[in-house]
Structure 1
Amino acid sequence: MKLGDIADIGTGNGNTNEGLDTGKYPFFVRSQDIKYKNEYDFDETAIITSGDGVGVGKIFHFVSGKYALHQRAYRVHITSDNVLPKYFFYYFKNSFLTYISKASFHSSVTSIRRPMMINFPVPVPPLEVQQRIVDILDRFDTLCNDISSGLPAEIEARQKQYEYYRDKLLTFKELKKEA
C-alpha cells in the first residue's frame, strides 16, 4: 500500500531555536538529538523523520504521547487498523533511505517533499506477522542497546570473567626453598 493510504503525514511548525535542554515535552528537530519544549503540537503515536539536511533517511524517532515538532521534520501517524505503528517504524527505518535516494531533491541540501512520503510503498502483511516482526526486533534492540541487559551487560560479564581467569592464571604458588 502507499503510505498516504494508511497514515496522516505532516510537519510541525517549530524552529530549532525554540528547543530547550529541559522541558515538559520532547521537541523533535532534524537531528538524532531530542530537544524539549514546554508546549506540544501533537498527542499521538507517530514516527518522526528529518525532512531535509544530512539526516534525511537516517534519523527516525518513535513517539507515543505529547510532543512538539520542527517545521522541517515529518510525522507519520498510522491511521489504518491494518498496520501496527511499531511495525511501520521498523520497516520505514530499514527502507526509507533507499527509496528517497532515488526520489529526493538534491540541491545544496537533500530534502524530501510530502508527495514522496505519500507514495512510499509499504508492505502490509497480516497483523500477526507484523506483531511477530515487532517482537523479534524489539528483543534484538534491547539486546543491543539496553545498558542493563543485552549486549552491554554481556560484554561486562565477559570482561569480569576474563579478569578472573587472568588473575588465576597469573597467580603462582610460592616455591619452598630447600636447605
Structure 2
Amino acid sequence: MSRIDDLIVDLAPNGVNHVLLSQVASYSDTRIDAHKLDETNFIGVDNLLSNKGGKTDATYLPNTARLTRYETGDILIGNIRPYLKKIWLATGIGGCSGDVLAIRISDEYRDLFLPEFLYQVLSSDNFFAYNMQHAKGAKMPRGSKDAILKYPVPVPPMEVQREIVNILKKFSELEEELEAELEAELEARQQQLSHYRDSLLSFDDTVPSFTLRDVCDISRGRVISKNYLRDHQGTFPVYSSQTQNRGIFGYVDTFEYDFESVTWTTDGANAGSVFYHNDEQFSITNVCGLLKVKSPNFLSSKYLYHQLGKHAKSYVSAGMGNPKLMANAMGSVSIPIPSLDKQEQIVDVLDKLDALIGDLSVVLPGEIAARRKQFEHYRVKLLTFGEKTA
C-alpha cells in the first residue's frame, strides 16, 4: 500500500477525480454477424461464470442474425440476477446476447483509463450491491442499464491504476493457488476416506452374501404432487428423488410408514442415491423406493445403508436415457452380511468417517470463502480514494 500512497501523494496530492461511468465509458454500439461466432467467442449469460469466475465456452449458439459486438478490453456483465456477480474482461473479439452488457471505455479516455482497472472497479462487491439496489423484477431481477452508467468511478493517474492492477492480479493469483490447494486437499481426504470405507465394507468368501429380496421388504411410494404438499402442510417428511436434505421433498399432515428404513431414488440423474431414516413417521413418492429389514437381529438398517452407498449405483440402468433403479433391480443387489456385532462396529466407524467428511466439507469451503472476503476487503481498500478538491 505504501507504494500506492506515495504515488497518490506525488501525482494526486489534492485527491482523485470521481466521475459517473457514463463519462468514461458506454455500452458497445457495434454489431457482429452470428455466423462469425462459435462456442469460444459467443457470450450468453449462461456461459458467464458466477462469483467473478470469468467465462466458459458456450453450450449453444445464438439464434439471431446480428449481435452486440465486444472487443478486447470491453467489460462484459451478466445483466440477469446481478447478485450472481457475472463479469469478464474480454480478451478478444466476439458477440454477446442481449442479457450481457458490453461496457467499452470511450475513445477520449483510452489514454487515461486502463480496462483492467475499470474491470477491478466493476468487479467489486460495492458495484454489484449497487446494481442489485437498482435492479427491477423479483423472481428474475435485471440490472438497470441507466443506473449502471450512473455508478461513480475513480479516475486516478495511470501510474496508480497500473500499480493497483498489478497488486490485485498478484493477489488474485495467490487466491486461486490457495483455493486450488484447499480443493485438492478436500478431494484427497474424500478419496482417502472413501477408500477406507470400501475396505471396511469388503469381506472374503467366509462372510455370506444375501440379495436384498431375501433380507428386506421392498416397496415403492405413490404420486405426491406439489399441490398435495401445499394443501396438506404438516410436520411429517415426504421423501422423493432429490439428494439434498436427506431426500426430503416436503412435509405433510399425515404419514404412511413408521419404522427404521432405507430409501432410495428410483428415477432420474440421482437414481441409486440412498438415505437412512431412524424410526420416524414418513411417506415416500413414486420415484422413491423403500427397504425395511425383515430381521433387525440379523441385519442392521444402518449397515444396509452403508453397503448400498457402495453398491447401489452399479445396479442403475440407463433406461432409454433416464437412469433407473427399480424394485426388481434393487432386490437383486447382493451384500455381504457379517455378524450383527461386526455390523455395529463397522457402522460406528463409518458414522465417524461421515462426520469427518461433513466437517471437512464445511471447514475447507469456509476457508475459501474467508480468503475471498479478504481479497474483496483489499480490493475495496485499494480502489477507495479521497475525492479531488479545488
Give the shorter-chain TM-score range.
0.7 to 0.9
Identify the residue that residue 117 of structure 2 maps to in structure 1.
Answer: none
Identify the residue that residue 91 of structure 1 maps to in structure 2.
Answer: 307
The TM-score with structure 2 as length reference comes to 0.36
Which residue type is aligned with residue 224 of structure 2?
A: N
Which residue type is aligned with residue 136 of structure 1?
A: V
CA distance in 1, matches of 2:229, 2:263: 16
In the alignment, structure 1 residue 132 sits paired with structure 2 residue 345: yes
DSSP-derived class of the 1:108 partner: coil
DSSP-derived class of the 2:341 partner: helix
User: Root-mean-square deviation (CA), in Å?
Assistant: 2.5
Computing the radius of gyration from Cα coordinates, the structure with the larger value is: 2
Contact 1:14 1:68 in 2 (8 A): no
Q: Could you list the runs of 5+ residues in structure 2 that have no partner in the other structure?
A: 1-209, 371-390
Identify the residue that residue 51 of structure 1 maps to in structure 2.
Answer: 266
Write out aligned runs for 1:20-169 (5 A). 23-33=234-244, 34=248, 35-57=250-272, 59-63=273-277, 64-80=279-295, 81-98=297-314, 100-101=315-316, 104-145=317-358, 150-151=359-360, 152=362
Contact 2:256 2:281 in 1 (8 A): yes
Measured after TM superposition, the shift of residue 111 of structure 1 is 1.7
Identify the residue that residue 5 of structure 2 maps to in structure 1.
Answer: none
TM-superposition CA deviations, 1:24-79 (whole Å, max 9, x none): 1111011124121111111011111111111102x222112100100121011111
CA distance in 2, matches of 1:54, 1:74: 15
CA distance in 2, matches of 1:154, 1:7: 39
Which residue type is aligned with residue 60 of structure 1?
A: V
CA distance in 2, matches of 1:131, 1:2: 20
In the alignment, structure 1 residue 19 sits paired with structure 2 residue 235: no
Which residue type is aligned with residue 214 of structure 2?
A: D
Contact 2:293 2:301 in 1 (8 A): yes
Structure number with the bigger relative contact order (C-alpha 8 A, sep ≥ 6) is 1
CA distance in 2, matches of 1:11, 1:67: 13
Contact 1:105 1:112 in 2 (8 A): no
Structure 1's consecutive aligned runs of 4 or more residues displaced over 6 angstroms after TM superposition are 153-157
CA distance in 1, matches of 2:266, 2:366: 38
TM-superposition CA deviations, 1:54-105 (whole Å, max 9, x none): 1102x2221121001001210111112211100000010111101x14xx25
Contact 1:43 1:65 in 2 (8 A): yes
The TM-score with structure 1 as length reference comes to 0.74
Tell me whether 30-39 or 45-54 shows the greater mean CA deviation. Answer: 30-39
Q: Could you list the runs of 5+ residues in structure 1 that have no partner in the other structure?
A: 160-179
Which residue type is aligned with residue 96 of structure 1?
A: A
CA distance in 2, matches of 1:124, 1:5: 12
CA distance in 1, matches of 2:329, 2:265: 13
CA distance in 2, matches of 1:126, 1:154: 37
Identify the residue that residue 175 of structure 1 maps to in structure 2.
Answer: none
The alignment of Structure 1 onto Structure 2 pairs a total of residues equal to 151
Measured after TM superposition, the shift of residue 5 of structure 1 is 0.8
Which residue type is aligned with residue 326 of structure 2?
A: R
